[in-house]
Structure 1
Amino acid sequence: MDLSNAQWRTSTRSSNGGNTCVEVADNLPDAVHVRDSKDRQGPVLTFTTDAWRTFVHTVHTH
């Protein structure tokens, strides 16, 4: 998977020096990618845009 054009943004819930550091790239077609900002070379989770929307909606409503 080529993520060289991914534009990563840090979660607003992340804090400087904290343990929660999630980055999301949603600028690529048909997928949203999520990674740990403390391990940028590590694994990347990939979701369809529909699955990501459902996840975000569920988190916001619970």
Structure 2
Amino acid sequence: MSREEVKTAINEMLEKIPEEALQDVFDYLKSVQDKSAASITLSKNLRTILKEDKELLERLAK
């Protein structure tokens, strides 16, 4: 998706999101704004690993 398509999709989602969640979304976006590109990449990679290994992590937690 292009930058404009992403911004449009986000705006459409914001119109549908419950009022009580808007502050959380704003806080998250503000925290991402202050991070470096390397930090964002690291966070994305960690999220991918956790998502892929969710089942394994759940078994290990037992």
Shorter-chain TM-score tier: 0.3 to 0.5
If the length of structure 2 is used for normalisation, what is the TM-score? Answer: 0.36
Q: TM-score, normalised by structure 1?
A: 0.36
> Larger % of strand: which?
1
Bigger helix fraction: 2
Larger Rg computed on CA atoms: 2
